């Protein structure tokens, strides 16, 4: 409860024109917000820009906040909307993303993230990196309704209840969307898992 009170007090400072409230919110939530956005857009520069835009919107709309929700919930709601809009804009500019496309044709997919492993030869490492890229691409291609709860709850390990608050829906709906996201991912990555 202390964190919620601190967040609301910080927001009240912003409402009164005190910029220190924004700095407090940023120091508390910037890292978690960046990680979420990065997983959503799969590009570090875009994630940094969207994180900044989220906090700008928090500052700009602080007077509209009503304390019927947690401040952090409101912040992630803003971030989710910005991510969704960002993906839509990029699809319109670059065409739709396809899981059937070659990895080199995939927009905004970072290929340098790897899982720690004890692979003994470079060939296995290449296959492992391709697998990671395939998983990232499959997550990136999920529809927003499924992608947001999957990243927020499963990858970022936040609670289903908090996700339900952000999305203004029920916990059961969040559970269903995560189930559907997992099912889609299993279908898209079936060949990958058969090889392992």
pLDDT in tens, 108-157: 444 444 444 454 554 454 445 567 788 888 998 999 999 999 999 999 99
What whole-number distance in Å separates Cα of residue 96 and Cα of residue 51? 24
Number of domains making up the chain: 2
Domain coverage including residue 52: 1-97
Burial of 95 (0-12, 13-18, 19+ CB in 10 A): exposed
| Residue ranges of the chain with per-residue pLDDT less than 50 | 1-2, 4, 95-117, 119, 122-123, 125-127, 196
User: Which of the listed residues 76, 97, 118 is the one where a domain comes to its end?
Assistant: 97
What whole-number distance in Å separates Cα of residue 54 and Cα of residue 68? 20
Q: What percent of the chain has pLDDT over 90?
A: 60
Do 64 and 109 share a domain, yes or no? no
Do 126 and 49 share a domain, yes or no? no
The answer to whether 115 touches 128, Cβ cutoff 8 Å, is: yes
User: Which of the listed residues 97, 130, 153 is the one where a domain comes to its end?
Assistant: 97
Predicted TM-score (pTM) of this structure: 0.73
């Amino acid at each position: 409860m202390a964190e919620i009170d601190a967040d609301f007090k910080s927001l009240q400072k912003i409402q009164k024109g005190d910029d220190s409230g924004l700095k407090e919110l940023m120091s508390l939530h910037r890292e978690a917000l960046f990680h979420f956005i990065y997983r959503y857009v799969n590009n570090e520069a875009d994630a940094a820009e969207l994180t900044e835009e989220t906090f700008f919107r928090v500052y700009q709309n602080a007077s509209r906040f009503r304390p019927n929700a947690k401040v952090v919930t409101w912040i992630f709601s803003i971030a989710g909307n910005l991510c969704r809009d960002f993906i839509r804009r990029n699809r319109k500019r670059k065409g739709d993303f396809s899981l059937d496309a070659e990895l080199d044709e995939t927009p905004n997919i970072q290929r340098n993230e790897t899982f720690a492993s004890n692979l003994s030869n470079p060939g296995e490492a290449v296959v492992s990196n391709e697998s990671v890229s395939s998983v990232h691409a499959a997550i990136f291609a999920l529809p927003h309704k499924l992608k947001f709860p999957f990243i927020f709850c499963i990858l970022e390990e936040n609670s289903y209840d908090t996700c339900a608050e952000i999305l203004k829906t029920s916990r059961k709906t969040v559970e269903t969307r995560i189930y559907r996201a997992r099912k889609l991912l299993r279908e898209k990555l079936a060949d990958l898992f058969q090889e392992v």
